[in-house]
Amino acid sequence: MKPLLILHFLLAGYIFLPAQTLRLPRIAIAGLGIESSTFSPALTTEEAFHARYGKDVFKAYPFFAEDAPLRKQAVWVPALVGKSLPGGAVTRQAYESLVNKTLDSPKKNGPFDGLYFDIHGAMSVVGLEDPEGDFITRIRKVIGTKTLISTSMDLHGNVSWRLAQHTDIITCYRMAPHEDAMETKQRAVTNLLNRLASGKGKPAYKARIVVPILLPGEKTSTRIEPGKSLYQAVAPASVQPGIVDAAIWIGYAWADEPRNHAVVMVTGDDREAVTRTAEQLAASFWKVRNEFVFVAPTGTLAESLDKALASSKKPFFISDSGDNPTAGGAGDVTWTLTEILKRPEFKEQNGPVLIYASIPGPELVQKAIAAGVGNPVEGYAGAKVDSRYAPPVKLSGTVHSIEYGDKDAEVEVVVKVGSVYVIVTQKRKPYHNEIDFTRLGLQPRKSDIAVVKIGYLQPELYDMRADWILALTPGGVDQNLERLEYKHIQRPMYPFDKNMKDPDLSAKLVPLADE
Ligand SMILES: [Zn+2]
């Protein structure tokens, strides 16, 4: 070793470390995340992904902060990471543009020891099947098959055989709502680093099992049984000797492709442990299939409003679930709001306080700004994207508040119509946290009823609710799956095919990317 080089290692402190840590691994970061419904007329364009490039990618992950331990364990080469709110299918043009921009970086900066692939797994693209499978295949063409890829996903994503083959380690969330999202991403990165640092490289075995079940997320929350026990078994299964990770995907119910179904995958070096563990998880899922029920009582909208009005529990939350924008609904279906405004109970200013979140209406937002807070305003909102169930809704009321600067909504106004406070947005936005309401001068805790375009309540709303019902309203993410017309999913599929036989739940070993 040349004197200068010895000095360099001494200074860096590397001289005391084992040989394989002399060089930090080079790891690329890439990924696109969206949950997109093919049963919604909405389309998603490139801007919706808020793509981050290069160093800006680190800001999406607390564990990649400048001084975080993981940041120092590799030479990270972020390409592009984009996350969109759920919505309609992604246009082919947006997908191609984002994929090509992603590939620019690895083309210039390779070779890599590893790649962290951060996806949701339920992206639908117009005219393209299995987009995540297509995406990873195109990444492999650039980085080659030797690079170790570790993938993290949403448990509502889909795992095609192609995606399973091209990734080396794969995992997903173990909680719904996804309170463990960041922990899951960190686990995927840590697994990748551990395999590279130990010199073990790719796990030798990847077991995959298709579980022919397709259920909405609102029946498979891990807050309640049987989802709770099913998912509680995943972490202990994943820390057994010979196993690197284990995961169960519920899959995504509002797209119509052969890959839409539940999947179990286990990766590791011990063939027997990997296959046995995958088969145990798949069998336990199949066994409880009849026990999945909605996370809250359900009813028609009329039944839900009757129940809320009669209840002494305030606030009474009603999920307007068919157009839940965080599952892929257009978010601008006016049917529910139209029905609420027809009800005589809400016609008077001093009637029961109902907050409606929310409806996009850019023209009405402009009119409200022109009118100013406290003044009357009248105009139409919603049904630009999805007018299948009701036309734009006419709101005639008083401007209660105006707020600027939200990342998704851009501008939000509250229009009070009778005793109903309607949140009207420039662009669609999910309302998941208390501050989303209080910043608009609304007090959900003191209101009688809060109707939100959502499925299961996110934690803050769940904590706030005195009572809750899931209204089975129409929209692109109709919770009543049997009302949807599937043509391409695999059959038989639970619960669509009554009396189906027990499926083959034996583990299939997926070949490594280089085989
Ligand atoms: Zn999800």
Stated length of the chain: 515
Distance of CA 78 to the CA centre of its chain: 21
pLDDT value of residue 4 = 44
Sign of CA pseudo-dihedral 458, 461, 463, 467: negative
pLDDT value of residue 10 = 42
> What is the spatial distance between Cα 490 and Cα 485, in angstroms, rounded to a whole number?
13
186 token code pair? 């960190």
pLDDT value of residue 22 = 64
Determine the angle formed by the axes of helices 131-143 and 92-109, rounding to 10 degrees.
Answer: 20
Answer yes or no: are the C-beta atoms of 158 and 260 closer than 8 Å.
yes
> What is the spatial distance between Cα 321 and Cα 217, in angstroms, rounded to a whole number?
11
Neighbours of 51 (CB within 10 A): 19
> What is the spatial distance between Cα 344 and Cα 397, in angstroms, rounded to a whole number?
16
* Angle, CA of 317, 335 and 321, to the nearest 5°: 40
> What is the spatial distance between Cα 239 and Cα 245, in angstroms, rounded to a whole number?
7
What is the Å distance from ligand 1's center to 107 Cα? Answer: 31
> What is the spatial distance between Cα 199 and Cα 316, in angstroms, rounded to a whole number?
56
What is the Å distance from ligand 1's center to 252 Cα? Answer: 8
Determine the angle formed by the axes of helices 335-342 and 301-310, rounding to 10 degrees.
Answer: 50
What is the Å distance from ligand 1's center to 154 Cα? Answer: 5
What is the Å distance from ligand 1's center to 90 Cα? Answer: 17
Q: DSSP secondary-structure letter at 494?
A: B
> What is the spatial distance between Cα 448 and Cα 355, in angstroms, rounded to a whole number?
8
> What is the spatial distance between Cα 172 and Cα 252, in angstroms, rounded to a whole number?
13
What residues pair up with 268 in beta bridges, in sequence order?
205, 243
Answer yes or no: are the C-beta atoms of 446 and 298 closer than 8 Å.
no
pTM of the predicted structure, to 2 decimals? 0.86
What is the Å distance from ligand 1's center to 18 Cα? Answer: 41
pLDDT in tens, the chain (515 residues): 444 444 444 444 444 444 444 689 999 999 999 999 999 888 999 999 999 999 999 999 999 999 999 999 999 999 999 999 899 999 999 999 999 999 999 999 999 999 999 999 999 999 999 999 999 999 999 999 999 999 999 999 999 999 999 999 999 999 999 999 999 999 999 999 999 999 999 999 999 999 999 999 999 999 999 999 999 999 999 999 999 999 999 999 999 999 999 999 999 999 999 999 999 999 999 999 999 999 899 999 999 999 999 999 999 999 999 999 888 889 999 999 999 999 999 999 999 999 999 999 999 999 999 999 999 999 999 999 999 999 999 999 999 999 999 999 999 999 999 999 999 999 999 999 999 999 999 999 999 999 999 998 999 999 999 999 999 999 989 998 988 899 999 999 999 998 899 999 999 999 988 76
> What is the spatial distance between Cα 111 and Cα 128, in angstroms, rounded to a whole number?
29
What is the Å distance from ligand 1's center to 417 Cα? Answer: 34
DSSP-derived 3-state class of residue 356: strand
Contacts of 122 (CB under 8 A, 6+ apart): 34, 35, 36, 154, 156, 157, 158, 251, 252, 255, 328
Distance of CA 205 to the CA centre of its chain: 27
Name the residue with tokens 């080089």.
Answer: 5
What is the Å distance from ligand 1's center to 370 Cα? Answer: 39
> What is the spatial distance between Cα 79 and Cα 450, in angstroms, rounded to a whole number?
41
33 token code pair? 């995340």
What is the Å distance from ligand 1's center to 328 Cα? Answer: 11
> What is the spatial distance between Cα 255 and Cα 119, in angstroms, rounded to a whole number?
17
> What is the spatial distance between Cα 150 and Cα 119, in angstroms, rounded to a whole number?
11
What is the Å distance from ligand 1's center to 302 Cα? Answer: 28
What is the Å distance from ligand 1's center to 176 Cα? Answer: 7
What is the Å distance from ligand 1's center to 365 Cα? Answer: 31
What is the Å distance from ligand 1's center to 399 Cα? Answer: 35
Between β-strands 298-299 and 36-37, what pairing exists: parallel, antiparallel or unpaired? Answer: unpaired
Residues less than 5 Å from ion ligand 1, measured at CB: 154, 156
Answer yes or no: are the C-beta atoms of 257 and 334 closer than 8 Å.
no
> How far apart, in Å, are the Cα atoms of 100 and each of 219, 362, 384?
37, 32, 31
Answer yes or no: are the C-beta atoms of 29 and 78 closer than 8 Å.
yes
What is the Å distance from ligand 1's center to 248 Cα? Answer: 12
What is the Å distance from ligand 1's center to 20 Cα? Answer: 38
> What is the spatial distance between Cα 90 and Cα 46, in angstroms, rounded to a whole number?
8
